[in-house]
Amino acid sequence: MSLTPDQQAEIETLRSTSVPTLRAVSEGMEAHLYKAYPVLDHGFVRVIDYMGDDAAICQAARVSYGKGTKSVQNDEGLIRYLMRHWHSTPFEMCEIKLHVKLPVFVARQWIRHRTANVNEYSARYSILDREFYIPQPEQLAAQSVINNQGRGEPLSAEASARVLEILKGDAARCYDHYEEMIGKEGEPDNLARELARMNLPANIYTQWYWKVDLHNLLHFLRLRADAHAQYEIRVYADEICKVVADWVPAAYSAFEDYRMGGATLSSKALDVVKRMLKGEDVTQESSGMSKGEWREFRTLLD
């Protein structure tokens, strides 16, 4: 993770200063606040601010005048009920603001989640750092032959070495040209930063502040912490999952149970389950499902 000693000192200053507050505080989240957790080779994710806790979800659900929580068991039961029945607005009462440093190609996937507020580091105003995501050799795999959107078998050692050589060489050359086009301050014919950046590859790092409510964050995590998500965004989602588990433990546990670990069945699939429970040997042909649906359904059950 590329934090300078000055940046690290700023984080430590924030963590050593506290103020009394009347607001709800999540002890679990306080332990994470401001800390940068490394992701990939130069990236990180850190919590800048948050609002609410498990109790805030119950408080909103009960539209309470006071704290709005009852016993822990009662609150957990309510949160599970809300999650189970897609009663989502109480979860929107909690918010989180993250500072994320990530490769541009990961940012392009991330930004598709429109229900967040974003402010990105300006490459028109500032010069980007010479920092490129270079995968670990074990992440270099061939195009999957089953899934057009995924990786298959690992590359051979020779092929991996060649790919890494290409990635490093291209990054270095493009950044050298970027610097050359920007030139030195005060010199004539310096190309504007907003134009010079055109030359930079998609594995260069960018940074942003990303603010989202808990309902939409869980939606993001459901999609991006999933095995189908690309590894390079999944590792960020996995890191955020750890933070959310400490921030709102009851909501996270319900999310793990109903969303991450659970499954939605079509009416055809439900019918097949009922027939199987009655002892029928159902096949793809007799199920009424397509081959793809059947494969996914069998994977769920196996």
Could you list the residues known to form a binding site for FAD, using ranges.
Answer: 89, 112-114, 120, 213-215, 219
Q: At what angle do helices 291-301 and 267-277 cross, to 10 degrees?
A: 50
The DSSP secondary structure of 81-108, one letter per residue, reads HHHHTT--GGGGG-EEEEEEEEEHHHHH
- Give the nearer residue to ligand FAD in terms of CB position, either 131 or 239: 239
In a 13 Å sphere around the CA of 242, the CA atoms on its Cβ side amount to 14
Phi, psi of 44 (to 5 degrees): -160, 170
Q: 252-256 long-range contacts, Cβ below 8 Å, gap at least 24?
A: 253/76, 254/76, 254/79, 254/80, 254/82, 254/83, 254/84, 255/83, 255/218, 255/221, 255/222
Residue numbering of the annotated binding site for dUMP: 109-112, 120-124, 197, 224
Instruction: Verify binding: residue 112, ligand FAD, rule CB under 6 A.
Output: yes
- Give the nearer residue to ligand FAD in terms of CB position, either 47 or 229: 229
Q: Which helix (H) or strand (E) holds 118?
A: strand 116-120
Tokens 């195009």 belong to residue: 143
Q: Report which of 91, 48, 119 is spatially closest to residue 220, judged by C-alpha positions.
A: 91
User: Binding to ligand FAD (CB under 6 A): which residues in 136-165?
Assistant: 149
Instruction: Verify binding: residue 114, ligand FAD, rule CB under 6 A.
Output: yes
Cβ 115 to ligand FAD, closest distance in Å?
4
Binder of ligand FAD out of 62, 97, 99, 113 (CB under 6 A): 113
224, 259, 275, 298: which is the annotated catalytic residue? 224
Kindly indicate which of the ranges 32-40, 108-116, 160-168, 256-264 contains the residues binding ligand FAD, using the contact rule CB under 6 A.
108-116
Kindly indicate which of the ranges 10-18, 110-118, 125-133, 151-159 contains the residues binding ligand FAD, using the contact rule CB under 6 A.
110-118
Q: Which residues of 105-140 are buried (b: 16+ CB within 10 A; e: fewer)?
A: bbbebbeebeebeeeeeebeeeebeebbbbbeeeeb
- Give the nearer residue to ligand FAD in terms of CB position, either 48 or 223: 223
Kindly indicate which of the ranges 68-76, 119-127, 215-223, 287-295 contains the residues binding ligand FAD, using the contact rule CB under 6 A.
215-223
Binding mask 219-248 for ligand FAD (x = CB under 6 A): x---x----xx-------------------
* Count of chain residues binding ligand FAD (CB under 6 A): 10
Instruction: Verify binding: residue 2, ligand FAD, rule CB under 6 A.
Output: no
Q: Supply the DSSP symbol for 214.
A: H
**Nearest residue (beta carbon) to ligand FAD:** 114
- Give the nearer residue to ligand FAD in terms of CB position, either 23 or 114: 114
Tokens found for residue 219: 């939606």
Catalytic site residue 224? yes
Where in the sequence numbering do the catalytic residues fall? 224
Binding residues vs ligand FAD (CB under 6 A): 112-115, 149, 216, 219, 223, 228-229
